Amino acid sequence: MADTFDLYFQGKEPENVDEFKFFTAGFDRTVAVRGLWKLTLHWLKRFMTTKGSDPTRPEEGTEFPNLIGSNIVSAADLRDVVLLAIDDCNEQLETIQRTTQPAQDEQLLSAVLTKFELLGEDGFEAWVTLSNVEGTELTIELPQFATRE
């Protein structure tokens, strides 16, 4: 499995986000990735997929995308939803990795919320640090959006 690659995708600029399409492969040539970036992309894809939206695998995904348009007003409740989604995503990825046995630099050790703060009255900023079994870390910012429209 160590010689396999995945396709790189990137977050869209906030002004180009339409509906639930946060990511794009871009307009340049496709880039193959492996290691920590491959792990990060697998984690993000699962995290940003709404649980139940895939009819062939309804157990995949998290509740994180459901925050869009929700009316959660408590910062503590909002943070709890993000933490539960991170835990759910970690458990799903760890279950898959037990059977697929990826290379150590592509195997999840942990993903933890490292920063969470409210943005104005109706949005938040969240940062997650992912670590692989080799001990390499990458901190990513989750897409920002208002919880109510």
CA-nearest of 67, 65, 47, 49 to 57 is 49
Q: Is 58 left (phi over 0), alpha (psi -120 to 50) or beta?
A: alpha
Residue boundaries of the structural domains of the chain: 6-141
pLDDT in tens, 35-58: 888 899 899 989 999 999 988 889
Side chain identity, residue 80: D
The topology (CATH level 3) of 6-141 is Nuclear Transport Factor 2; Chain: A, (3.10.450)
CA–CA distance, 44 with 121 (Å, rounded to integer): 26
* pTM for this model (two decimals): 0.79
pLDDT cut 90: percent of the chain above it: 43
pLDDT at 60 over 80: yes
